[in-house]
Structure 1
């Protein structure tokens, strides 16, 4: 397979935007680098910055807590390239939101035959309960995690879209903080775009989609609990945003309104940044055996008294069987050509086709 080397070009030279970093790395004693790696691992372990990968039992450690991976060699993306990538990501997320609104309302894309109707309506992630439900600003995916890869010439392609309960941003933030702590000199010789304001931006966006008429919304982060693989991130984001971290048992619904139990009595909740899958959100509608959700939550949502980020039913837009149609969606909804394309060469219409495509990237 022809991999793209981020730091070196085809002739073995260092790419221009990596030159200063490469010079720093070459001048850094190996002992110092090794010592700093160990320091990072110790700090991550003390703080509890870990994650678990369920179902990976190949080494007998399936579900075991692991330290966040930390690499001192950063991925340097020049500003012009980042602007192009950002524009492509914005276009893609805008398109996926338009698709979600459409399939839960008029279903024009299905009527036009751009996507076979059964591909959507029979999808396990399609939620008929969301038909006709209007969400604030027509935004279904408030937070999106779009995985991108480079091909051999360096062009970006979208590997997959994550719209259900995207996770991982906390690890990026902690990696950046660790890099600044261990190697502050790198930030004096490079103009590095800041990322530490992400929690502030997230809170701003969540408050902006509060139900109509709510001027000072109460935002909470809904977690499945301490045994979830991304629990560190749930606690981290709640703490950084200055909002409450709650479990389903901390919330209740009365008169189609969501409330939180507090030591001062009940308090209305207006926006829920949920890190709980659809199936477990409301046992009166989805899985009746769920202990993670809130009874009556969907009714409150349909009544427009609470906003869920992301919306129920977003999973159909990031399903592997829908992925091949996203470039066509861009053309259908925006009348534009995709700025970012799917992985190239092979046309795939089923998940198993996608797996074949990824195995044969140029």
Structure 2
């Protein structure tokens, strides 16, 4: 792969892991040349001033997330750490990711519909029945119900990682994925506070994706209503992602509501406001299935709406994402997604899974137990970095405890090869430092249209040196992610060289089955 001549700072390690900005010889990759040159031209005082301005804006606008720190008596609300050095994904490389994300989401949507309408995939032996009926997120209440437009997953968040061989899907998030607000707000702040870096870069715009999001929600309205009334259902201000709920409601121009604001009458959902009752057509829910409706799910729920599922069954309201979608983002089901793509689409997967071991299988379980210190173990029903063991970083006590848990309930866990997550530079007080990253790709789907992939997605950063945990709930941060526009010259005419380099990378990824 060809690279530019500027080199990394001497203390920066780009040899141990694939680094997004520097190659293994320390040379700046061509698509990063403008970013590297711009930061190199800023003096320490200017960098400190801009970083402080960034932090102040985050604090002023309340861009927060709740952090659950080990040993802390109470959760901590903090501004989301945002690193000002953008991640850049070359256009040709992004095209591959975009196609793979779209393919995966379409297949998963068809899988969910099949689960609640006949389960052909089970009858044909594609996936074991026990993976479905024993799944925490399988909702028998959805059996036989048709989602509006057959769209079960309106908003998907697909997590990807890369190593020296290419990209892999790490997990699927199909219930109510978070991170949209950090993507859109991060881009806004980068354009405002780093205009000299942002404006010459000719990158794909993300603002259009907000319009696509709204259009996707509108398309779900019962009976094709042209001007549907849409609300965002939040658990309330104590939820860790409440900032995101408020941000999206404002940006999409929809009402932010809690369960107590809604009422079910005659199998229809209404919003109580000062003018009386107003019928709701679409609910973008950011609460889990079990809290949606105390008459159908958890009876003591104070967050949902009594009778909501009756209104849904009657076809009088749409819910995005549909109840029961979580069965498809279970980490054990994840291992079968490549087969599901082949089954439903008749295509080979564009993006590969991380090699995964199903611990309910005796041979695979014994293999994992013998090599636990080399692998990553995850509880199938949890997300956000919870219920996870990273073998190479675990103590002997932690390894022993997980071995016992696996032996007691093997079906609750999967194991994966420890991947060498790529690194990208983050700006610290002493300059740039490499930190591990992943990428959450967001896919938006509506009735009758092709899924839309938000350009670039959200890069998440493990801020602690050597850490592989990027989740915001575990102390991770985020980066703006840039995709250069095709056919548009970049700074100093570098765009054509960037695309040539991207095509070289595409060939490398094809050779490794990515």
TM-score by length of 1: 0.95
After superposition, what is the alpha-carbon deviation per residue over 1:89-120, rounded to whole angstroms, capped at 9, x for unaligned?
A: 00000010000000100101101111110111
The equivalent position to 2:328 in structure 1, one of 292, 317, 335, is 317
Secondary structure of the corresponding residue to residue 212 of structure 1: helix
In the other structure, the counterpart of 2:70 is 57
CA 1:162 to 1:192, structure 2 compared with 1: closer, same or farther past 3 Å?
same
Secondary structure of the corresponding residue to residue 71 of structure 1: strand
Between the aligned partners of 1:31 and 1:218, the Cα distance in structure 2 is 50
In the other structure, the counterpart of 2:87 is 75
Q: 1:158, CA displacement in angstroms?
A: 0.7
Q: Please identify runs of 4+ aligned residues in structure 1 that moved more than 3 A.
A: 346-356
1:290 and 2:304 correspond: no
Between the aligned partners of 1:46 and 1:23, the Cα distance in structure 2 is 30
In the other structure, the counterpart of 1:25 is 39
Between the aligned partners of 1:176 and 1:226, the Cα distance in structure 2 is 24
In the other structure, the counterpart of 1:9 is 23
Unaligned runs of 5+ in 2: 1-14, 361-377, 380-409, 422-514
Between the aligned partners of 1:339 and 1:173, the Cα distance in structure 2 is 27
Secondary structure of the corresponding residue to residue 3 of structure 1: coil
Between the aligned partners of 2:67 and 2:327, the Cα distance in structure 1 is 23
The equivalent position to 2:107 in structure 1, one of 95, 106, 118, is 95
Between the aligned partners of 1:300 and 1:247, the Cα distance in structure 2 is 17
Between the aligned partners of 1:287 and 1:261, the Cα distance in structure 2 is 23
Q: What's the RMSD between the two structures over aligned residues?
A: 1.7
Residue range with higher mean Cα deviation, 206-215 or 79-88: 206-215
Q: 1:24, CA displacement in angstroms?
A: 1.2
Secondary structure of the corresponding residue to residue 357 of structure 1: strand
Between the aligned partners of 1:179 and 1:185, the Cα distance in structure 2 is 10
- After TM superposition, list the pairs within 5 Å mapping 1:1-362 onto structure 2: 3-54=17-68, 56-58=69-71, 60=72, 63-153=75-165, 155-344=166-355, 346-348=356-358, 351=378, 356-361=415-420
TM-score by length of 2: 0.67
After superposition, what is the alpha-carbon deviation per residue over 1:250-308, rounded to whole angstroms, capped at 9, x for unaligned?
A: 11111111111111110000000000100000001111110000000001101111000
Q: 1:139, CA displacement in angstroms?
A: 0.9
Q: 1:188, CA displacement in angstroms?
A: 2.8
Q: 1:187, CA displacement in angstroms?
A: 2.1
Q: 1:57, CA displacement in angstroms?
A: 2.1
Q: 1:75, CA displacement in angstroms?
A: 0.7
Between the aligned partners of 2:141 and 2:303, the Cα distance in structure 1 is 19
Unaligned runs of 5+ in 1: none
More strand by share: 2
Q: 1:3, CA displacement in angstroms?
A: 2.4
Q: Are the equivalent residues in 1 in contact too, given 2:190–2:198 (CA < 8 A)? A: no
Q: 1:186, CA displacement in angstroms?
A: 1.2
Q: Are the equivalent residues in 2 in contact too, given 1:159–1:342 (CA < 8 A)? A: yes
